[in-house]
């Protein structure tokens, strides 16, 4: 089922763009929608805010995100969803949220909800879009950049290790590039910390029918996109291989 | 109560098969559906080379139907060997193939046989791929040639999946039978379109797609009923089956087995639920086996 929504707000910093819209559906943090407008291909995006006003936040990386980035207040979008399984917050006080790069967008609703959050990016400029929300956050927030231009100098996994020196958490809820999640997952397993991670694969139907977004025998769209530590441990393609639009298995470099 | 059935020489533990195009792009996807209780799975329709299919958007679901124009995405028959290896290790896999000529169909079917498929299903019915599917499957002469050339090329059963987008379904069914086809699978999706009024244009990138789900069930049941009164070869019923009562409609219209596709949207437990429902129904209404119900609506 698709809904046609009207863009009510837009912000842009560098190549990261946010569009907000009123959409009367209940969405869990980590769930996603299929977004389309004439002139682009339909793409999956997790929601970056899930209250009465919803928003999507995306990096402009190709022709479809470029077309989506031209949308202005008043323009209309086709939205299908919400789809998939989002994050499940078990113990608010003992949960650490971790977002890396544009993977910060899907975890913003949990930061807004008061959970302690670590934000990591390559450089300060890539964090601009998240700073207003981080300023309003009522939980603790940490920031790191690969080049040290803001906050701790290091990547997301190094930041998490620093945080855990001073505080204890039972579970990490994360989103980011697969390489980051791969090492963060390994760290969690080695240190007996539970985790939930949002994964990504090429999607078509978005709702569990077509089988194009499989990781092993899991459908990212319907069984995920958020998977538990144990589920991820059983995935041999995690961190290793992808599927192209033909369904051909393609190894990561 | 005996849920076992057979489609010609192919014996099945229960009448529920996964329809082509659903969670079957990968071997592990098919294996999972077999573990969920499907008696067999039909693979994605595979062609000679890799095909990304149509651009997104190519799918939309509503309450009573889904509309898709996937466009036959597949990695090509050579690469698909790996997916088949994984799936065949877990159960019965029917290899679906699409092509534009009898010779190409035969070559692909031969590969599927080599990969361990228990039968081959000829896609003569996809409604949204130029030069393929229903474009070759609505001409009885062409259908007869394709089935007959494939029959000569393989020793596994040859099933022909037919389209409802024709007024000569019975003639096409007869062509399959005359060519030595082992079974008819009916129906594929109905050619359809969705327009988004706010944008004033079709939703699917391909504009046209195929309609599936509950909305098409009465069309499918009618098609199976028509075919059962026309041919003597077994029929596999497909189109909008979500429950055991839906499956019973097809079986009583003349289907020896059924395929389930779109209902996977609501959960993979559809296979076990339909089988459980069939068992209860048979107990209550005194049918000792599935075979005793096939075609009873004609009596």
**Does one domain contain both A23 and A109?**
no
A4 and B70 in contact by Cβ < 8 A?
Answer: no
What is the tally of structural domains in chain A?
Answer: 2
**Does one domain contain both A33 and A124?**
no
**Does one domain contain both A193 and A114?**
yes
CATH code of the domain containing A59 = 2.40.30.10
Nearest residue to A145 (alpha-carbon basis) of A164, A165, A130, A167? A130
Q: Tell which of A56, A83, A110 closes a domain.
A: A83
Shortest CA gap B238–chain A (Å):
16
Domain with A69, as residue range(s), is 2-83
**Does one domain contain both A35 and A116?**
no
**Does one domain contain both A113 and A192?**
yes
Any idea which residues of B carry the catalytic annotation? 126
Shortest CA gap B51–chain A (Å):
5
Asked if the C-beta of A207 comes within 8 angstroms of chain B's C-beta atoms, the answer is: yes
Nearest residue to A175 (alpha-carbon basis) of A31, A13, A19? A31
The stretches of chain B forming alpha helices (DSSP H) are: 27-35, 77-88, 102-114, 134-137, 140-153, 169-178, 217-228, 244-253, 270-285
pLDDT for B134: 83
**Does one domain contain both A73 and A160?**
no
CB pairs A-B closer than 8 Å: 117
**Does one domain contain both A153 and A136?**
yes
**Does one domain contain both A109 and A221?**
yes
**Does one domain contain both A194 and A102?**
yes
**Does one domain contain both A19 and A108?**
no
Q: Name the CATH superfamily, with its identifier, for domain B5-298.
A: Aldolase class I (3.20.20.70)
Please name the helix (run of DSSP H) or strand (run of DSSP E) that holds residue A116, with its range, or none. strand A116-121
CATH code of the domain containing A146 = 3.40.50.80
Neighboring chain A residues of B18 at a CB cutoff of 8 Å: none
- pLDDT tens figures, A155-207: 999 999 999 999 999 999 999 999 999 999 999 999 999 999 999 999 999 99
B59 and A204 in contact by Cβ < 8 A?
Answer: yes
Q: Give the CA angle between residues A89, A94, A96 to the nearest 5°.
A: 70
B196 and A217 in contact by Cβ < 8 A?
Answer: no
Q: Tell which of A31, A50, A83 closes a domain.
A: A83
**Does one domain contain both A172 and A104?**
yes
Tokens in use for B166?
A: 């024709």
CA distance B271 to B205: 32
Cβ-based interface (< 8 Å): residues of B facing A: 21-26, 28-29, 31-32, 44, 50-53, 55-63, 66, 68, 70, 73-76, 79, 82-83, 196, 198-199, 201, 203, 205, 261-262, 264-265
- pLDDT tens figures, B182-227: 999 999 999 999 999 999 999 999 999 999 999 999 999 999 999 9
Q: What is the pTM of this model?
A: 0.95
- pLDDT tens figures, A192-250: 999 999 999 999 999 999 999 999 999 999 999 999 999 999 999 999 999 999 999 99
Asked if the C-beta of A234 comes within 8 angstroms of chain B's C-beta atoms, the answer is: no
Q: Tell which of A83, A105, A125 closes a domain.
A: A83
**Does one domain contain both A6 and A38?**
yes
CA distance A100 to A71: 25
- Domain spans in chain B, listed from the N-terminal domain onward: 5-298
């Amino acid at each position: 089922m698709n809904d046609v929504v009207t863009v009510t707000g837009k912000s842009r910093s560098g190549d990261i763009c946010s569009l907000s819209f009123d959409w009367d559906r209940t969405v869990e943090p980590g769930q996603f929608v299929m977004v389309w407008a004439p002139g682009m291909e339909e793409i999956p995006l997790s929601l970056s805010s899930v209250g009465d006003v919803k928003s999507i936040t995306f990096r402009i990386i190709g022709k479809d995100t470029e077309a989506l980035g031209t949308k202005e207040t008043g323009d209309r979008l086709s939205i299908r969803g919400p789809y998939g399984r989002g994050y499940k917050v078990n113990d608010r006080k003992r949960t650490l949220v971790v977002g890396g790069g544009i993977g910060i967008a899907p975890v913003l609703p949990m930061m807004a909800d008061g959970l302690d959050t670590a934000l990591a990016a390559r450089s300060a400029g890539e964090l601009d879009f998240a700073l207003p929300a981080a300023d309003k956050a009522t939980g603790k927030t940490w920031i790191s950049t690969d080049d040290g231009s803001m906050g701790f100098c290091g990547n997301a996994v190094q930041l998490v290790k620093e945080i855990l020196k001073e505080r204890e958490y039972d579970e990490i809820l994360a989103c980011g590039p697969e390489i980051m999640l791969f090492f963060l997952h390994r760290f969690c397993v080695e240190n007996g910390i539970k985790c939930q991670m949002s994964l990504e694969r090429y999607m078509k139907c978005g709702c569990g029918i077509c089988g194009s977004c499989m990781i092993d025998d899991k459908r990212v769209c319907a069984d995920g996109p958020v998977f538990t530590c144990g589920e991820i441990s059983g995935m041999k393609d995690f961190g290793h291989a992808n599927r192209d639009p033909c369904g051909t298995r393609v190894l990561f470099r | 109560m005996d849920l076992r059935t057979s489609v010609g020489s192919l014996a099945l533990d229960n009448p529920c098969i996964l329809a082509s195009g659903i969670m079957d792009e990968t071997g592990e996807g098919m294996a999972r559906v077999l573990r969920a209780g499907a008696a067999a799975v039909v693979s994605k329709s595979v062609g000679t080379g890799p095909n990304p299919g149509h651009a997104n958007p190519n799918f939309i679901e509503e309450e009573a139907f889904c509309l898709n124009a996937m466009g036959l995405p597949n990695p090509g028959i050579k690469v698909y060997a790996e997916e088949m290896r994984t799936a065949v290790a877990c159960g019965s896999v029917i290899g679906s193939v699409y092509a534009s000529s009898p010779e190409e169909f035969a070559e692909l079917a031969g590969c599927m046989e080599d990969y361990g498929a228990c039968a081959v299903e000829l896609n003569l019915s996809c409604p949204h791929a130029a030069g393929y599917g229903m474009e070759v499957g609505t001409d009885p002469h062409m259908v007869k040639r394709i089935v007959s050339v494939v029959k000569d090329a393989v020793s596994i059963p040859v099933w022909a999946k037919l389209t409802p987008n024709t007024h000569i379904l019975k003639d096409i069914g007869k062509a399959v039978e005359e060519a030595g086809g082992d079974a008819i699978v009916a129906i594929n999706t109905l050619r359809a379109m969705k327009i988004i009024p706010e944008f004033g244009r079709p939703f699917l990138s391909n504009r046209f797609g195929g309609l599936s789900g509950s909305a098409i069930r009465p069309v499918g049941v009618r098609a199976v009923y028509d075919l059962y009164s026309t041919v003597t070869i077994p029929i596999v019923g497909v189109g909008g089956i979500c429950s055991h009562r839906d499956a019973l409609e097809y079986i009583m219209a003349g289907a020896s087995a059924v395929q389930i596709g779109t209902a996977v949207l609501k959960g993979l437990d559809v296979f076990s639920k339909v089988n459980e429902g069939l068992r209860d129904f048979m107990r209550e209404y005194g049918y000792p086996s599935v075979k005793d119900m096939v075609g009873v609506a004609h009596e």
